[in-house]
């Protein structure tokens, strides 16, 4: 439960400043939070960003579209497929390229595999934050199977550059399809084991229940999306709100939990693992034949002048690319709106009056990727 | 969270339509005093787009706030040849299938717009970032110190005349 900070009752009481980071292990990257503490309670928390800022948006302006494509998997390196999807999506929208159905299905399968592997990293690391070491080993064991599958298909294990303007760079083979089906079969009992091992654990539940409430209204005012807004009971998912690719073909649920606490955000991601498996299974069942690249996509793309947006549901929430073109072979302006930045922006307000260890549990439940904030 | 948008077509409960469906006609936000143009979502990635005067952005953000919109992002575009800076505000609706963009232009020599962080606290960081990259000042903003750039940065790297 959030307790009222003693400071709010006794103004003028002595406080001290505590620097969390820039390299605290619980922040998985180089994030710094300047905390004003009253004993163990947070009076004020101010995230200090930019330690690994790379000016990706400038790189988007001084490269051609194809040259910038590999950068998109290095923003949120755990959602590389989805981020590449948004960038090829906005270019395809501007150039009016029709992507063949088989390529769209491959994109959905690989994006959902990527979502599962991202959630598995979060699951392991989050429990590590809370003091449980073993779950990480289980998570990475299962994640390894996804990385092997995607490595066989794309040649990369993390920073995939597999999607192309108009499709994907090569067709899937029999071993990928067989392996993906085997993974779905393998993963379902593992999810049950995760529930038995961790989710049902009373110590774990007491650590998260009622901790770090983030209401739907707060999500709206800060633009928080993904499992954060769904853990506040709002079924907002870009795959439904702005349907793209082949997602309208599949039957899946948007898991929501109305409790608004850290446990709700945990439960949302656990349920999403199951939904991603469902989507992959349906895509494999109805996998269409045909080409995996659109015909006649020029090697050097020049987009018509204009202002174009494309949003995807990445593992952490809404990722939006805004591309302003002036008719040349590279973007005049490329804006990357990343979910981690918006999700972290509410931390200062949401963490007020919390105990420090509770605030860290809440930060873990936001699933931050720091290069996604700093870009 | 409630939005009074009289359009069943835009509800998230409806069947999923690829590419966001056809252009929303008529404008479901016609009751608001915002000069929205209906645009084709499949072509542009937004449903409604409005250009307003710089002194209107706070009132526009207030109207969208009352209609239940969420702040998506804020960014700039440097139109060097025209001597103007554009500020683009993006909003999405958490429960309706509706994406809107609002834009305004200010002279390049004096790029200043009022802050909307008083309406959407989430705008605070987006405006700080826009100030970092473009040097656009947001009047009334609580803290325009560098956000992503080094703390002593005096340059604005996304200006088209920026030379490192």
Which pLDDT tens digit goes with each residue over A292-320?
998 888 888 888 999 999 999 999 999 99
pLDDT category of residue A279 using cuts at 50, 70 and 90:
very high
pLDDT at res. B71: 94
Residue in chain B lying closest to A236 (CA): B94
pLDDT category of residue B12 using cuts at 50, 70 and 90:
low
Tell whether the model's pLDDT for residue B8 goes beyond 80.
no
Mean pLDDT of chain A: 89
Q: Does A144 touch chain B (CB under 8 A)?
A: no
A259: left (phi over 0), alpha (psi -120 to 50) or beta: alpha
pLDDT at res. B4: 44
Among A184-193, A323-332, B24-33, B55-64, which stretch is predicted with the lowest mean pLDDT? B24-33
Q: Which residues of B touch A223 (CB under 8 A)?
A: 70-73, 92, 120, 122
pLDDT at res. A2: 47
For residue B67, CA distances in Å to B11, B31, B47, B95 come to: 14, 11, 16, 11
Portion of chain A with pLDDT greater than 70, in percent = 95
Domain parsing of chain A, residue ranges: 8-373
* Residues near A248 by beta carbon (within 8 Å), at least 6 away in sequence: B15, B16, B17, B18
Q: Report yes or no for ipTM above 0.90.
A: no
Q: Which residues of A touch B85 (CB under 8 A)?
A: none
pLDDT at res. B2: 42
Is residue B17 within 8 A of residue B2, CB to CB? The reply is: no
Interface contact flag, B147 A49, Cβ < 8 Å: yes
Interface contact flag, A310 B68, Cβ < 8 Å: no
Query: Count of CB contacts below 8 A, A vs B?
Result: 133
**Closest CB from A216, A223, A349 relative to B71:** A223
pLDDT at res. A296: 83
Which pLDDT tens digit goes with each residue over A81-114?
999 999 999 999 999 899 999 999 999 999 999 9
Tell whether the model's pLDDT for residue A8 goes beyond 80.
no
Q: How far apart are CA A215 and CA A261, in angstroms?
A: 9
Which pLDDT tens digit goes with each residue over A238-272?
998 889 999 999 999 999 999 999 999 999 999 99
pLDDT at res. B3: 43
Among A225-234, B8-17, B141-150, which stretch is predicted with the lowest mean pLDDT? B8-17
How is residue A70 annotated by DSSP? G
What would the mean pLDDT of A267-289 be, rounded to a whole number?
94
**A:54-113 residues touching chain B, CB 8 A cutoff:** 55, 57-58, 61, 90, 93, 96
Interface contact flag, A375 B148, Cβ < 8 Å: yes
Tokens of B44: 């542009």
A29: left (phi over 0), alpha (psi -120 to 50) or beta: left
Homologous superfamily of the A8-373 domain (CATH)? Cytochrome-c3 Hydrogenase, chain B (1.10.645.10)
Interface contact flag, B121 A243, Cβ < 8 Å: no
E-only strand ranges, chain B: 36-38, 48-51, 70-79, 84-92, 99-107, 112-114, 137-139
Q: How far apart are CA A288 and CA A103, in angstroms?
A: 9
Which pLDDT tens digit goes with each residue over B91-150?
999 998 899 999 999 999 999 999 999 999 999 999 999 999 999 999 999 999 999 999
Tell whether the model's pLDDT for residue A26 goes beyond 60.
no
**A:339-358 residues touching chain B, CB 8 A cutoff:** 341-342, 345-346, 349
pLDDT category of residue B24 using cuts at 50, 70 and 90:
low
Q: How far apart are CA A144 and CA A166, in angstroms?
A: 29
Residue B1's CB is within 10 A of a number of other CB atoms, namely: 16
Q: Which residues of A touch B71 (CB under 8 A)?
A: 221-223, 342
**Closest CB from A50, A216, A229 relative to B147:** A50
Q: Does A51 touch chain B (CB under 8 A)?
A: no
Q: Which residues of B touch A222 (CB under 8 A)?
A: 71, 120-122
Interface contact flag, B120 A222, Cβ < 8 Å: yes
Tell whether the model's pLDDT for residue B6 goes beyond 90.
no
pLDDT category of residue B25 using cuts at 50, 70 and 90:
low
**A:267-306 residues touching chain B, CB 8 A cutoff:** 306
pLDDT category of residue A176 using cuts at 50, 70 and 90:
very high
Among A53, A241, A319, A341, the residue to mutate for chain B (most B Cβ within 10 A)? A241
Tell whether the model's pLDDT for residue B10 goes beyond 60.
no
């Amino acid at each position: 439960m959030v307790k009222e900070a003693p400071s709010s009752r006794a103004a003028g009481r002595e406080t001290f400043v505590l620097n969390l980071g820039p390299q605290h292990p619980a922040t998985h990257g180089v994030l710094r939070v300047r905390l004003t503490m009253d004993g163990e309670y947070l009076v004020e928390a101010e995230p200090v960003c930019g330690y690994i800022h790379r000016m990706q948006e400038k790189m988007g302006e001084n490269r051609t579209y194809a040259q910038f494509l590999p950068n998109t998997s290095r923003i949120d390196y755990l959602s590389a497929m989805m981020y590449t999807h948004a960038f090829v999506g906005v270019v395809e929208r501007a150039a009016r390229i029709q992507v063949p159905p088989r390529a769209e299905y491959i994109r959905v399968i690989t994006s959902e595999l990527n979502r599962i592997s991202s959630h598995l990293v979060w699951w392991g690391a989050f429990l590590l934050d809370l003091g449980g070491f073993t779950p990480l080993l289980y998570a990475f064991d299962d994640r390894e199977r996804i990385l092997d599958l995607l490595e066989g298909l794309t040649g990369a294990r993390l920073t995939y550059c597999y999607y192309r303007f108009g499709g994907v760079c090569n067709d899937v083979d029999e071993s990928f399809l067989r392996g993906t089906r085997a993974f779905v079969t393998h993963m379902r009992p593992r999810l049950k084991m995760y529930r038995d091992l961790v989710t049902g654990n009373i110590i774990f539940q007491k650590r998260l229940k009622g901790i770090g409430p983030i209401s739907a209204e707060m999500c709206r005012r800060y633009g928080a999306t993904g499992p954060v807004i769904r853990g506040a009971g709002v079924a907002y998912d870009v795959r439904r709100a702005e349907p793209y690719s082949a997602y309208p073909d599949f039957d899946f649920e948007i898991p929501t939990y109305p409790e608004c606490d850290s446990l709700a955000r945990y439960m949302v991601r656990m349920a999403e693992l199951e939904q991603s498996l469902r989507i992959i299974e349906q895509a494999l069942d109805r996998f269409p034949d045909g080409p995996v690249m659109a015909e006649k996509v020029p090697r050097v793309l020049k987009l018509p002048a204009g202002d174009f947006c494309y949003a995807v549901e990445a593992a952490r929430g809404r990722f939006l690319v805004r591309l302003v073109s002036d008719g040349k072979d590279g973007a005049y302006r490329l804006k990357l709106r990343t979910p981690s930045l918006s999700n972290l922006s509410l931390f200062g307000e949401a963490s007020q009056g919390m105990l420090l260890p509770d605030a860290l549990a809440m930060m873990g439940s936001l699933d931050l990727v720091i290069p996604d904030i700093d870009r | 969270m409630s939005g009074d948008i009289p359009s069943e077509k835009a509800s998230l409960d409806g069947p999923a339509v690829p590419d966001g469906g056809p252009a929303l006609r008529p404008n479901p936000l016609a009751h608001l005093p915002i000069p929205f143009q209906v645009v084709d979502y499949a072509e542009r990635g937004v449903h409604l787009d409005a250009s307003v005067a710089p002194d209107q952005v706070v009132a526009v953000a207030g109207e969208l706030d009352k209609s239940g919109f969420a702040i998506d992002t804020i960014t700039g575009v440097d139109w060097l040849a025209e001597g103007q800076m554009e500020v683009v505000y993006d909003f999405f609706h958490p429960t309706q299938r509706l994406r809107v963009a609002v834009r305004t232009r200010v002279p390049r020599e004096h790029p200043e717009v009022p802050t909307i962080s008083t309406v959407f606290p989430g705008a605070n960081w987006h405006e700080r970032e826009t100030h970092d990259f473009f040097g656009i000042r947001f009047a009334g903003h609580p803290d325009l110190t560098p956000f992503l750039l080094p703390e002593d940065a005096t340059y604005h790297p996304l200006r088209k005349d920026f030379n490192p």
